[in-house]
Structure 1
């Protein structure tokens, strides 16, 4: 498994979020409420979609799949001056990320995520940082198509 290490500059996002857990997955509900309204978002940077997870600090210590976190559906914008009434804002701060490519249906993303956390991360000089995790879905993303592609961005920092 190969990672590209990127230094992210702050991203301003507008979208919607929902509280959920890995056991009580509400991703479909979130995206179903976001997608019909995304066209109302002005000053978009591009056509990419962002699927983000905002975890509490140390969320993965003594991992509990019933522990809740925020799941976001969003787009990147140039500024936060015009936010539609039914939307919210999120700023992803600057920081280091490990970027992985997931190829295949979205339903098989666990085949990419598992080796990241079980193999790549423990064998790297990094540890997970307390910033949003996200996937970037551009024109190559085709949901459940076997040829679909999306980038997975994991926040990292050097081990102490």
Structure 2
């Protein structure tokens, strides 16, 4: 797995917020909200591009377990301006931050292995501490059921 550290400027996203466990999210909430977001993308004024972001915001308590505890999922688009947001969508601000990033290659159901590599091995080896969120960029390479699928993964790092 090839990783690099990047620093991103602050940015805003607009889309849907879902509170759920991983299992609940994967059991249908993800696909239904993804489809709805794609269907309504032209209603999002000032959309920066067509890349869908899947953000995962985790509680900061020590005993949090993403497999059993609910947390916040955002399916969204980055925007240049937060005016004119559709009434059923939210605005979320992302601060300027450094991230470790890599490309997950392969079917989407195996992306947990990529996260395990980052959170389990890479962070320890590199001496970094994760912040309480990460995100994925789903662009033109996103083919969830294909071995040719590619998803950019970003894990926020504490300053």
Deviation of 1:97 after TM superposition, in Å, equals 0.4
User: 17-26 or 87-96, which moves further after superposition?
Assistant: 17-26
> Is 1:45 matched with 2:48?
yes
Deviation of 1:134 after TM superposition, in Å, equals 0.4
1:85 corresponds to which residue? Answer: 87
Contact residue 45 and residue 83 of structure 2 kept, 8 A = no
1:23 corresponds to which residue? Answer: 23
| C-alpha distance in structure 1 between counterparts of 2:22 and 2:51, whole Å | 24
What SS does structure 1 have at the residue aligned with 2:151? strand
Deviation of 1:69 after TM superposition, in Å, equals 0.6
> Is 1:120 matched with 2:122?
yes
Structure 1: gaps of 5 or more residues: none
Contact residue 142 and residue 149 of structure 1 kept, 8 A = yes
Contact residue 50 and residue 74 of structure 1 kept, 8 A = yes
Q: How many residues are treated as equivalent by the alignment?
A: 155
| C-alpha distance in structure 2 between counterparts of 1:78 and 1:143, whole Å | 28
Q: In angstroms, what is the RMSD of aligned CA positions?
A: 1.5
Structure ranking higher in helix proportion: 2
Contact residue 11 and residue 93 of structure 1 kept, 8 A = yes
| C-alpha distance in structure 2 between counterparts of 1:23 and 1:146, whole Å | 22
What SS does structure 1 have at the residue aligned with 2:35? helix
2:63 corresponds to which residue? Answer: 62
TM-score, with normalisation over the residues of structure 1? 0.89
**Runs of 4+ displaced beyond 3 Å:** none
Deviation of 1:63 after TM superposition, in Å, equals 4.1
| C-alpha distance in structure 2 between counterparts of 1:150 and 1:33, whole Å | 20
1:97 corresponds to which residue? Answer: 99
Contact residue 44 and residue 86 of structure 2 kept, 8 A = yes
